[in-house]
A and B are shown apart, each in its own frame.
Chain A
Amino acid sequence: MNPLPQRQVATAGTAEKPADPGQPVVPRPFAARKPEWQKYLLWGVPGVVIWWLVYRNLAPVSAWFTYSLFGLAKGSHLGAAMEFFIFESPKVLMLLTLVVFGVGIVRSFFTPERTRRILSGKRETTGNVLAALLGIVTPFCSCSAVPLFIGFVTTGVPLGVTFSFLVSAPMVNEVALVLLFGLFGWKVAALYLSTGLIIAIVSGWVIGRLKMERHVEEWVFKTQTGSGVEEEAHDWPARIRLGWEAVKDIVGRVWLYVLIGIGVGAGIHGYVPENFMASIMGKGAWWSVPLAVVIGVPMYSNAAGIIPIVQALLGKGAALGTVLAFMMSVIALSLPEAIILRKVLKPRLIATFFGVVALGIMLVGYLFNWIMS
């Protein structure tokens, strides 16, 4: 299935139309791109095979390191902590690299400009659902929340729809999903994805219903928003490069948090007694869900740091719903975000935004504690 040799013949042979005299001979784009494709094929296929082989053998290797090489006793505190760390760190980082690469490629199809065009003039409900879904795939950084907010509301995206996007974009992200999948399995990852989307859709819808447009700073609606960046046309080599750049950027930024998180998780795993958390964060304690949210909201951490800790807590008897609520409130809402948004939103709208989302997270927490009991 390799079309390249043919092209090679076409450029090397004399079958090409004679170029206009006086016109410089421009190399054909395909010929110019060829070495890049070969390079990706040459590195990509063995890369994936090696990735798979290493990934499959992490469990026995980490056990060997812990109990044979370091000579730790099976069942000891240090042994349990060490095995957890040696197994989970490469596993999570490998999964992260692969998924961030894939998501980087998917994101090359979406820009905030394109998302805005899709959402502009959409009615509520449909708009809320679309906005929450687009929040997953549109590149987003909370540092750009303000320009994005203005760009959306001044070009005909309804306020509630904009909020659905602003909730979903930070909360449902690839880093969180990879960590959940790697440490908890696909069921918890799927639960997080679906409930995160539902919270984004419903809270955006509620804010839209409350008609809070007048609690947006007046100057926002008077802002003249320009047309934005020229769309770049990407070919596949460019998309692969973008995927790789995403890996360098995101993995380069979060790897340390992942390791620290897994380190703390490993400590909890090895040293905290079984069922220790049951009394504090267990199902029986009704107040644990709101408390988890109250503690989680002002905290600012990314998914990479918080999820390994949360996983260890769960292993010690904390209830899934409580843990999920804590994680969501840490990731989705934060004090720095509130301060940034104050530039464009009046305090009442910020309070409503945080209140509605926090309430949604609490309901999810109670729901899971109830289902799992």
Chain B
Amino acid sequence: MKLQILGTGCAKCNALAMATEKAAQMLGLPYELEKVTDLQRIMSFGVMMTPALVVDGKVKVSGKVPSVDELKKLLA
């Protein structure tokens, strides 16, 4: 599973990356996490609020940091 965190390096972006990683580990999913900080690449997903989470090319979360439980539901 390919996980991408979109954000220009704000505190919330790191929080989202950590929560996502934790959720994926708890589910025991094989995953590959990438932090996307380049604005043009962020915009290619059409995200207007950072941070955002992209799962296998689909934008799942934008503009907030959900709880680990919510992220588990999104990833499962």
Q: Which residues of A contact B (CB under 8 A)?
A: 112-113, 116, 139, 141, 143-144, 146-148, 150-152, 154, 219, 223-230, 343
Query: Using Cβ atoms and an 8 Å threshold, which residues of chain B touch A113?
Result: 46, 48
CB closest residue in chain B, given A140: B49
Cross-chain contact A147 with B48 (CB below 8 angstroms): yes
Instruction: Flag if A143 contacts B60 (CB, 8 Å).
Output: no
Residue of B nearest to A242 (CB): B64
Q: A116-B48, A143-B50, A148-B49 are in contact. Are A343 and B39 (CB under 8 A)?
A: yes
- Cβ–Cβ < 8 Å partners of B62 in chain A: 228-229
A116 to B47, CA, bound (A): 12
How many B residues face the partner with a CB closer than 8 A?
Answer: 21
B65 (CB) vs chain A CBs: closest residue: A249
Q: Which residue of B12, B47, B58, B60 is within 8 Å of A147 (Cβ)?
A: B47
In the complex, what residues of A have CB within 8 A of residue B50's CB? 143-144, 147
B45 at the A interface (CB under 8 A): yes
The winner among A116, A139, A225 for most chain B CB atoms within 10 A is: A225
Is the CB–CB distance between A230 and B59 below 8 Å? yes
- CB of B5 within 8 Å of the partner chain: no
Partner of A139 from B39, B47, B49 at Cβ < 8 Å:
B49
Chain A positions within 8 Å of B52 at CB level = 229
Contact of B10 among A143, A219, A228, A230 (CB under 8 A): A143
List of B residues within 8 angstroms of A146 by Cβ: 8, 39
When distances are taken between beta carbons in the complex, the residues of chain B under 8 Å from A224 are: 43-44
| Contact, CB under 8 Å: A219 / B48 | no
Residues of chain A within 8 A of B47, CB atoms compared: 147, 151, 226, 228-229
User: Hey, which chain A residues are within 8 Å of B59, CB to CB?
Assistant: 226, 228-230
Residues of A close to B10: CB separation below 8 A: 143
Encoded as 1 (CB less than 8 Å from any A CB) or 0, chain B from 23 to 62 comes to 0000000000000000110111111111010000011111
Contacts of B46 in A (CB 8 A): 113, 151, 225-229
Closest to B49 in A: A144
30 A-B residue pairings within 8 Å (CB atoms): A112-B63, A113-B46, A141-B63, A143-B10, A143-B12, A143-B50, A144-B48, A147-B42, A147-B43, A147-B47, A147-B48, A148-B49, A150-B39, A150-B43, A151-B48, A219-B40, A223-B40, A225-B43, A225-B46, A226-B44, A226-B46, A227-B46, A228-B47, A228-B48, A228-B62, A229-B47, A229-B52, A229-B59, A230-B59, A230-B60
In the bound assembly, the distance between CA atoms of A224 and B45 in angstroms comes to 9
Give chain B residues whose Cβ lies under 8 Å from the Cβ of A112: 48-49, 63
Q: Give the 6 A-B CB pairs with smallest separation, nearest first.
A: A226-B46, A228-B46, A151-B48, A229-B62, A112-B48, A229-B59
The answer to whether residues A226 and B43 also contact, given A112-B49, A141-B49, A143-B50 and a CB cut-off of 8 A, is yes
Beta-carbon contact of A226 and B45 below 8 Å: yes
Nearest CB in chain B to that of A228: its residue = B46
For residue A228, which residues in chain B have a CB less than 8 angstroms away from its CB?
Answer: 45-48, 59, 62
CB distance from B42 to the nearest CB of A (A): 6
Q: How far is the CA of A223 from the CA of B63 in the complex (A)?
A: 20
